[in-house]
Chains A and B, each alone.
Chain A
Amino acid sequence: MKKTRWMHGLVCGLLALAAVGCGRKEKAVLHVYTWADYVKPELVQRFEQENNCQVVIDTFDSNEAMYAKIKAGATGYDLLFPSSYMVKLMNDQGMLQPLDHAQLPNLSHLDPDYLKVALDPKMEHSVPYMLTYTGIAYLESRVPNPEASWAMFDREDLKGRVTMLDDMRETIGAALKFLGYSLNTSDDKQLEEAKEVVLRWRKNLAKFENEQYKSGIASSEFLLVHGYSGDILQVQEENEDIVFVLPKEGFSISCDDMVIPKEAKQAALAHAFINFLHDPAVAAENSEFIYYLCPNKDCYELLPEEMREDPAVFPPAEIRAKGEVIADLGEVQAKYVKIWDQIKGGE
């Protein structure tokens, strides 16, 4: 008798699982694949109510991992948030849908100054979502005579208390900018010069670091770091002593875009979500939540004064003009990899 009871329980359990799997069919479901905590949860709920749908958010931790998965054939996602360089790569391989601007009236709010430098300026297959600048942050009380320049990494008095990003394009790019070149150059001579500069800077570095620099500067372990403005703004909440500056020689702009993959089943709902996130009031609320800047010109005035007056968020026009977006370089990428290997491996 015991055995039949067991079986009974098992069957019931399986049925319950099946019910969980198949239930809630009546509402349309939008599947979003993005970074964790990248949309304010209350805004997602508002979108769900307004459109009588359900939004399911899944998360990835790097562009490359997300790309590998989609490329291998994973389907079911309706909206992705890759960085610009990855968007270009995915578009070149025919993985994205062209966008229907008729469904995206809010695109008129986008910042034309940013679109000028964007990799997809006409927004044919991607809409910029959040952007951040790469610059330098230091502790005001501990670093005498600071200047807004990449030359700060040459300062021997800070030796061992400095980090640069463990990112080939960002760090070689910083050296290229310091020398007055484009950070998307393919010129061998310029790259060779940049290598020499990074090798010189390397002597002052504690390490190449992508994550730990945030807590490192918050706790004064590091005095000068190379990092993203969005991250530094968050750290500043904890340590008032931190100052972020954009180097006068120029800097990189990175942007995460919203794209709709070829196989998306809910393309219309995905368009609606893009449009929703670019409503100026929504964009402002979202920017304030994640500390990155949504390039939506009509949301700027709705941001809190603190953010609007921060030169790290809104640099003066002449500085901002020196920003450049890191582009996918295709074949040329190999040159950067080679130099980066020499920098990381060489003495």
Chain B
Amino acid sequence: MSASRRSLFPVAMTALVLLFLYIPILVLILYSFNDGRFSVRWDHASLKWYRRLLHERAIWHALRNSLLIAVTATLTSTVLGTTAALALHRYRSRLQKVHYGLVYAPLVVPDILAGMSLLLLFVACGVQLGMSTIYLAHVSFCVSYVTMVVLARLQDFDVSVIEAANDLGANTWQATRYVLLPLLLPGIVAGGLLAFTLSLDDFVITFFVSGPGSTTLPLYIYSMIRHGNPPLINALSTLLIAVTFLAVWGSQRLLAKQRKDG
């Protein structure tokens, strides 16, 4: 086989994988403009679902709940996860082995078990279920993911850089603030984004620990299967995708501008 023939394979493979990943999203966007309720058949293009979406108080409330929990849980678990990773990386005592086990456990425990046991715990403590219990539950599993991601980043981290900073007169705070954190930042951001997505997505654990008035978007979508209008969710997802793309595009524009100015 010639070299050019062989080099086609990775291209074709990439194209196939991209198609596989993005076609469902494209179909979703397309059908959000479909007039039909059962959305397999194409009726005609319309903005009906977008108009309906404006009046759906329950969906917006659920979205608000989801975002509020995702943002707060991400911030908390990023801080806790990063410090946990630093501790795990720096100290190698027996206690840290236990710590590692504790952090690792939520990654392997099935969601339904985690959800049920958290519910039993909250009920036993007499805590009123609601936004706060969902927040606590989400932090409990997000911390593990953030820790693992930051820990992976720390594995390639050269400690001598910190030592060099100290030699040059930086105190612990300065060495952390100006050397360690900037170098860890990609890991921390990746962990935070992962936590955000996981929190926004979670259904099983959230179902058990949610209380009156705290229905999140995934809970609402599942419940819509029986009586609801799934195309409304297509429309909402399309809007969310658009917002995400705009945010990414905007931030890249800003970064590029900064680089040019700096």
Task: Name A's B-contacting residues (CB within 8 A).
Answer: 17, 21, 29, 31, 33, 35-38, 41, 56-61, 65, 68-69, 72-77, 211, 214-216, 218-219, 221, 234-235, 237-239, 290
Q: Are B43 and A238 in contact (CB under 8 A)?
A: yes
Q: How far is the CB of A285 from chain B (nearest CB, A)?
A: 16
Binds A, one of B101-109, B188-196, B211-219, B245-253: B211-219
- Residues of chain A lying within 8 A (CB to CB) of residue B225: 61, 211
For A239, list chain B residues within 8 Å (CB).
41
Q: Which of B193-226 contact A (CB under 8 A)?
A: 207-208, 210-215, 219-220, 222-226
Q: Is B97 an interface residue (CB 8 A)?
A: no
- State A18–B71 Cα separation when bound (angstroms): 16
Known: A237-B37, A238-B36. A76 touches B223 (CB 8 A): no
Whether A219 pairs with B38 at a CB distance below 8 angstroms is yes
**A59 CA to B206 CA, complexed, in Å:** 12
- Please, what's the 1-or-0 string for B125-144, where 1 marks a CB less than 8 Å from any CB in chain A? 00011111000000000000
CB distance from A156 to the nearest CB of B (A): 26
Q: Out of B41, B119, B222, which one reaches A218, CB within 8 Å?
A: B41
What residue of chain B has the Cβ atom nearest to residue A217's Cβ? B38
Asked whether B208 lies within 8 Å of A69 as measured between CB atoms, the reply is yes
Q: B37 to chain A: which residues have CB within 8 Å?
A: 234-235, 237-238
Docked pose: A211 CA to B120 CA in angstroms:
32
Note all chain B residues with C-beta closer than 8 A to A35: 223, 226-227
Q: Given A37-B229, A219-B38, A72 and B58 touching (CB < 8 A)? A: no
> Which residues of A are found within 8 Å of B40, using beta-carbon distances?
215-216, 218-219, 221
**A178 to B210 alpha-carbon distance, docked (Å):** 43
B123 contacts A74, C-beta separation under 8 Å: yes
Residues of chain A within 8 A (CB-CB) of B123 are 72-74
Closest to A44 in B: B57
Q: Is B186 an interface residue (CB 8 A)?
A: no
Whether B220 pairs with A59 at a CB distance below 8 angstroms is yes
Are the C-beta atoms of A290 and B41 separated by less than 8 Å? no
Determine whether the beta carbon of A218 is less than 8 Å from that of B215. no
Report chain B residues within 8 Å CB of A77: 212
